[in-house]
Structure formats: structure tokens, C-alpha cells
């Protein structure tokens, strides 16, 4: 409740304004719109969190037919060759021996903007790889940057709403809206430092790094679990654009990265990436000052060295963009034996949301489309529905069956078992060891003077366009906590002295 003064016909009237209760689609009050219901603060998200599920399901159906995010994209086809036998840490068949080849499909994308938007915008880039393995498809769905803005999927619809066009003006990427949201998301400090550096505008898709972003579990035949993070390193080298370079390209073309990828493959200058993983055991987690499954954090090389897993080469352009790229469907839940999701709260939500949005976008049988279909035999009693194309015959469409005993499951590929501490209960709360600012500061200090200068200029210019100065002050306080010099330089750039900052931050 707050008091509001209104001037009406020359008379000052004081009225009482009551705060609004957030509700579900059916009008029920929401108890917590910031944290999913989990097993313990750091455990997996529960399907019984109806508000989370309904919120994500409603969000996934907001736009037809282009992707809600990652709408602008380019794709290519190629192969992945494993470097060694990794069966000591994972049952994943495509990593079972040196030299093993696996066909792949890759889709690169921008994240926020619509189809047909310029590829020079400051924006994370999607880096999604579909491995057609001998044991089914595996999707490694990531971005060029190694971290993300939020750590809980319950905030994802709100985050994308803030980035998308205003519902009033239809203006895209309004810094007032973006930073109004981010000023209440302190864990975004690390990602914003990446995004507003020159890393925020890759020169093209070929010279761009890729990251799995989330932590995943590798599981071997003994059921032993190793947590991993993925990184794709371009053999062409990595190159980014300054804002001025991007503006110059955008003045003459809007799809320079798509053209560059297509032309390089057409000219047989095939782009290649080496895949690396970092590994940690659960026993290592407590020794760290951050939560290793927190998607806003990287794993420093000092705690987990990168190990080369293999090399990917893209050597074929699509022959039909719509069928092979636009209809391509990726999900972090498309997994194979030996690879499982971690307890990452954002990843847990994506496991539902990505499959759900593909069913909405291209139908319930999207996995039967040729570009999404597994190369190995599919034996399933999932049936019927729109566009059902899989061969199905016979009387038995269920399992187990005495009449068809040869169709069975394989206990060897059961999910791994995770034991939670005794007494752990479900909760809706922030994770332990948030540590929102340390790695952002380390990243800032790792930049050269030129890169620091460009970061301050890019980020400062964006903050200067924000009308609500309390929002600007809150953002500067985050960057100051990451690195005092970082925060002071931003404050100087936006012409805010210490007294103004303190006054704004203490105001109601």
C-alpha cells in the first residue's frame, strides 16, 4: 500500500494505491514467483510446482510460428570425430573410441530478435549441435557466452519479456525495460559484463566460441557420476566486433554471418571446432566458493582443466533451409545413455520448456521429421497424433507383452542415482553460495585496457539511455561489487558522483 498525490481540477488529492497480488491463469494467488519448488536449496525442481509448469507452458505458446527466442538462425551439416575413449567416465557411445565419427547438425542463432533482424546486434548467440549417435540423438544446446543472466527457469518468461518489444510502443531492446528487470537480478552482473564487452558481438558464426553453459552429468557403466561443462573452440580463431564495426556492417547488410557461413562451406573452407570438457566430482563442490551447477558461473581452469574430446567439421550446407534448419528442433532433454542433466535450476526448467515449445511450434510428432529423426532404429509405442509418420503395425502397442516379449528395456541404461543429504526437504529459496559478483570482477580484470575501455563505453552508453536513475544506480552498485574500478569508471561515464549514488540507492 502507498500514498499517491493527484492534481485534479487544481485540487491536490491524496489517494491510497494497493499493491496487486500476482495470480495464476486461473486467478489463484502466487506465493513465490522468484524461486521454483526444489528438493533442498540445491536439488532438482519438482513437477508438482504447478505455478512453474503453467507459467512455462503459457510462455511457450505465446508466439506462432517462429521460435520465441533464437528465431534468427543459420545451419550447417557435418561430422564429429572423437579424440579418445571416454568410456571410463561416460557410457555415451559416440565417445567410446578414438576416431569414432558421428554425423551432426548445427544451428547458430541470435537470441532475442525476430527472423530477419540484423546479425550485428549485441546479443548472445545460440550454438546448438545435434549428434546423430548410434544410440539415438544427443543435443548439446548452448550459447557463445559461457554464463547466463538468470539461474532459475521461473524467471525466464519475465527476462524474455523485458528484452522483447514493449507491449505499448513495440520498440525492441528498450534499455529502460531491460535494466529495470536486470536491476533486480544481481546474478546477471557476470553475464552483462560478458555481453557488453566485445564478446557481445561475434564477428560471424565461424569465428565464434560455443559453450554448453549448463553443467551436465557424465555417467559410466558403473553408475559413477562426473559433472562436466562443455566448450567449443573454433580452429579458425575467435574474433569479435566493436560497436563501431558492427554499425558499419549493419549499414549495408543484415545477414553477414549467415552469408559468411554458407559461402565458406560452399567454397570448401570448412569451419572446425574442437570440443573440450571440464570435469568435477560432487565431492569437490563444497571446497568451492560458488555452486558449480549455478549457470551464472564459469569453472576456472585452476579447479577444472579443459580436456579435448574431439573435433567437429561442418562440410555441407542445407539444401532446403525450412526443412533442415527452420524445422530443426533442439532440446537439452534430448540425451543418450551416459549423459544426464545436473541439478541446475535453469536447466531443469529447460528440460520441460524446450520439448513443449517444439510440440507447439511444429507438432507433437516433431521428432519424426527427417531432420530430427534418429539415424538408428526407433522402437516405441508412442503413437498417433498430428503428422504421425513412423511405421507402426501389429496388435501389440504396449509393453510389457507376453505376445511380444522381445521388446523390452535395458537395466544397464537406468538413470543414475543421486543421494541427497539426510533431512533435506522441498523448499522455495535461493541457492546457497550465490557469489554474484566475484567472477564478473575477475573477467573485467582479465580484459586488456582497450577491452576494458570498450566495455565501459558500451555498457555506459546503454545505462545513459535509461531514464530511471535509481535503476542506473543499482546497476552501478552491482558492477562496483564486482570490481571497485569497474564501478567507479561506469559511475564517471554516466556522470554520477558518490553522493548521488548513495541518495538514489537509499531512496524508497
Find the catalytic residue in 35, 42, 51, 70. 70
Region label for 377, one of left (φ > 0), alpha (ψ between -120 and 50) or beta (otherwise): beta
Decide if 430 contacts 185 (C-beta within 8 A).
no
Distance from C-alpha of 133 to C-alpha of 105, rounded to nearest angstrom: 12
Residue ranges of E strands in 235-384: 272-280, 307-316, 339-341
For residues 59-89, one letter each, b for 16 or more C-beta atoms within 10 angstroms of the residue's C-beta and e for the rest, the string is bbeebeeebbbbbbbbbbbbbbebbbebeeb
Phi, psi of 23 (to 5 degrees): -130, 165
Distance from C-alpha of 34 to C-alpha of 52, rounded to nearest angstrom: 10
Distance from C-alpha of 202 to C-alpha of 198, rounded to nearest angstrom: 8
Told to judge if 384 belongs to the known catalytic residues of this protein, a careful annotator would answer: no
Distance from C-alpha of 15 to C-alpha of 12, rounded to nearest angstrom: 10
Residue 493 labelled as part of a binding site: no
Told to judge if 256 belongs to the known catalytic residues of this protein, a careful annotator would answer: no
CB count in 10 Å sphere of residue 153: 24
Find the catalytic residue in 143, 144, 372, 458. 143
Residue 123: C-alpha distances to residues 60, 262, 354 (Å): 21, 21, 20
Residue 194: C-alpha distances to residues 60, 146, 274, 447 (Å): 27, 9, 22, 10
Phi, psi of 444 (to 5 degrees): -60, -45
For the chain, the maximum distance between any two Cα atoms, rounded to a whole number of angstroms, is: 87
For residues 33-58, one letter each, b for 16 or more C-beta atoms within 10 angstroms of the residue's C-beta and e for the rest, the string is eebbbbbbbbbbbeeebebbbebbee
Give binding residues as ranges: 354
Active site residues: 70, 143
Give binding residues for heme as ranges: 354
Amino acid at each position: 500500500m502507498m500514498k499517491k498525490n493527484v492534481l485534479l481540477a487544481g485540487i491536490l488529492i491524496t489517494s491510497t494505491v494497493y499493491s496487486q497480488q500476482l495470480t495464476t491463469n486461473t486467478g489463484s494467488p502466487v506465493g513465490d514467483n522468484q524461486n521454483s519448488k526444489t528438493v533442498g536449496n540445491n536439488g532438482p525442481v519438482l513437477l508438482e510446482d504447478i505455478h512453474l509448469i503453467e507459467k512455462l507452458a503459457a510462455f511457450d505458446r505465446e508466439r506462432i510460428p517462429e521460435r520465441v527466442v533464437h528465431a534468427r538462425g543459420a545451419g550447417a551439416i557435418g561430422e564429429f570425430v572423437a579424440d579418445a575413449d571416454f568410456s571410463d567416465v561416460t557410457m555415451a557411445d559416440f565417445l567410446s573410441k578414438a576416431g569414432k565419427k558421428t554425423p551432426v547438425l548445427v544451428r547458430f542463432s541470435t537470441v532475442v530478435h525476430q527472423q530477419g533482424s540484423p546479425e550485428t546486434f549485441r546479443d548472445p548467440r545460440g550454438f546448438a549441435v545435434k549428434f546423430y549417435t548410434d544410440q539415438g540423438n544427443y543435443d548439446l544446446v548452448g550459447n557463445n557466452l559461457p554464463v547466463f543472466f538468470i539461474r532459475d527457469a521461473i524467471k525466464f518468461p519475465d527476462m524474455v519479456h523485458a528484452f522483447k518489444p514493449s507491449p505499448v510502443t513495440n520498440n525492441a531492446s528498450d534499455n529502460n525495460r531491460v535494466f529495470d528487470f536486470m536491476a533486480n537480478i544481481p546474478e546477471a552482473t557476470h553475464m552483462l559484463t560478458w555481453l557488453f564487452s566485445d564478446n557481445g558481438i561475434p564477428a560471424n558464426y565461424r569465428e565464434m566460441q560455443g559453450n554448453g553453459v549448463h553443467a551436465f552429468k557424465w555417467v559410466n557403466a558403473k553408475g559413477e557420476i562426473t559433472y562436466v561443462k562443455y566448450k567449443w573452440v573454433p580452429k579458425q580463431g575467435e574474433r569479435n566486433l566493436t560497436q563501431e564495426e558492427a554499425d558499419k556492417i549493419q549499414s549495408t547488410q543484415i545477414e553477414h554471418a549467415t552469408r559468411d557461413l554458407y559461402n565458406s562451406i560452399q567454397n570448401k573452407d570448412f569451419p572446425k571446432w574442437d570440443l573440450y570438457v571440464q570435469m568435477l566430482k560432487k565431492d569437490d563442490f563444497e571446497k568451492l566458493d560458488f555452486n558449480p551447477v549455478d549457470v551464472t558461473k564459469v569453472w576456472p581452469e585452476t579447479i577444472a582443466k579443459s580436456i579435448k574430446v574431439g573435433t567437429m567439421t561442418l562440410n555441407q550446407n542445407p539444401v532446403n533451409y525450412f526443412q533442415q534448419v527452420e524445422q530443426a528442433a533442439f532440446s537439452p532433454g534430448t540425451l543418450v545413455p551416459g549423459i544426464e542433466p545436473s541439478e541446475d535450476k535453469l536447466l531443469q526448467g529447460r528440460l520441460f520448456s524446450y520439448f513443449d515449445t517444439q510440440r507447439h511450434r511444429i507438432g507433437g510428432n516433431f521428432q519424426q521429421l527427417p531432420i530430427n529423426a534418429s539415424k538408428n532404429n526407433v522402437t516405441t509405442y508412442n503413437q498417433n497424433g498430428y503428422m504421425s509418420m513412423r511405421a507402426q503395425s501389429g496388435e501389440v502397442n504396449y509393453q510389457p507383452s507376453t505376445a511380444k516379449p522381445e521388446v523390452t528395456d535395458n537395466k544397464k541404461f537406468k538413470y543414475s542415482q543421486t543421494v541427497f543429504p539426510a533431512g533435506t526437504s522441498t523448499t522455495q529459496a535461493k541457492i546457497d553460495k550465490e557469489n554474484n559478483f566475484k567472477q564478473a570482477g575477475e573477467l573485467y580484470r582479465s580484459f586488456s585496457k582497450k577491452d576494458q575501455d570498450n566495455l565501459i563505453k558500451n555498457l555506459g552508453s546503454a545505462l545513459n539511455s535509461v531514464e530511471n536513475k535509481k535503476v542506473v544506480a543499482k546497476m552501478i552498485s552491482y558492477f562496483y561489487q564486482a570490481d571497485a574500478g569497474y564501478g567507479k569508471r561506469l559511475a564517471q561515464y554516466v556522470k554520477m558522483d558518490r553522493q548521488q549514488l548513495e541518495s538514489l540507492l537509499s531512496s524508497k
